[in-house]
Amino acid sequence: LNVLDHWSHLAFLVGFFVYMRTRHAFEARFKGTESLERRVDRVELVTLVAVSLGAGVLPLLFLFSPWLAFADVSLPLWCEVLGAASMLAGLWLFWRSHADLGRQWSVTLELRKDHQLVTRGVYRRVRHPMYTAILLVGAAQGLMLHNALAGWSGMATLSVLIALRLPKEEAMLVDQFGQDYRDYTARTGRLLPRLGGGQ
C-alpha cells in the first residue's frame, strides 16, 4: 500500500483526517443556523464536485490502491518537509478561521439570519483566511504525495473554485454590508495580509 511507503504519505493522511474532523466539529456546533440567502449556480456545483474528486477521492485512491501508479514521482526530503510545514500552518489557520467566523460559516455562498461582518482574529488583515488555509493544505498534498496526479489535483481544482468564487462572495458581502465591507476591503488583503496595510 502506498500509504505506508513514505512517512509523508502517512503524515498527509493524518493531516487530512484532522482537517475533516475540524470541519465536522464546527458543522455540528452551528447545525440549524438559518440561511437568509443562498447564491449557488451551476458553475459552483460543478467546481465543488471537481474539488471533492481532486482534494478527496484522488489522494485516497492513490494511497489505498495501485491504480494511479502511472503518475508516480519521487520527491526529495525537502519537498516532504516543506509540505508537512504547509499542512501544519494550513490546519492551524483552518481551525482559527472557523473559530473566528463562527455561525457565519457555510460551504457555499450564503448569508445567515443575523449575519455579522467578521473583521477580528485571523480576519483582521486577510479577508479570506479560510481559503488561504485550504490552499496551504492543497500545496501540502502536492508536496507530500509521491504522485503528480493525486498530488496536484487538489491545488488545481481548489484554485479554480476559489478564483471563480471570490468575486461573487465579495459582491454578496458588499450588497449586504455596503460601505462597511468596502472599508474592510481597503485595509485588508484577499488571501495574504496587505503590504504596508493595516489601520
Question: Rule CB under 6 A: is residue 128 a binding residue for ligand SAH?
Answer: yes
Question: Rule CB under 6 A: is residue 169 a binding residue for ligand SAH?
Answer: yes
Q: Which stretch binds ligand SAH (CB under 6 A): 10-18, 51-59, 109-117, 142-150?
A: 109-117
Using CB under 6 A, count the residues that bind ligand SAH. Answer: 17
The residue type at 83:
G
Q: Which of 56, 82, 99, 106 binds ligand SAH (CB under 6 A)?
A: 106
Q: What one-character DSSP code corresponds to residue 4?
A: G
Q: Cell 516543506: give the residue.
A: 82
Residue placing its CB nearer to ligand SAH in the complex, 86 or 147? 86
CA end-to-end span of the chain = 52
The residue type at 118:
V
Question: Rule CB under 6 A: is residue 77 a binding residue for ligand SAH?
Answer: no
* Closest to 114 (Cα-Cα) out of 71, 169, 176: 176
Helix (H) or strand (E) holding 112: strand 110-112
What is the footprint of ligand SAH within residues 26-65 (CB under 6 A)?
none
Q: Which stretch binds ligand SAH (CB under 6 A): 6-14, 28-36, 41-49, 117-125?
A: 117-125
Question: Rule CB under 6 A: is residue 19 a binding residue for ligand SAH?
Answer: no
- CB within 8 A of 60, min separation 6: which ones? none
Note the Cα 42 to chain centre separation in Å: 20
Residues that bind ligand SAH (CB under 6 A): 97, 101, 104-106, 109-111, 117-118, 123, 128-131, 169, 173
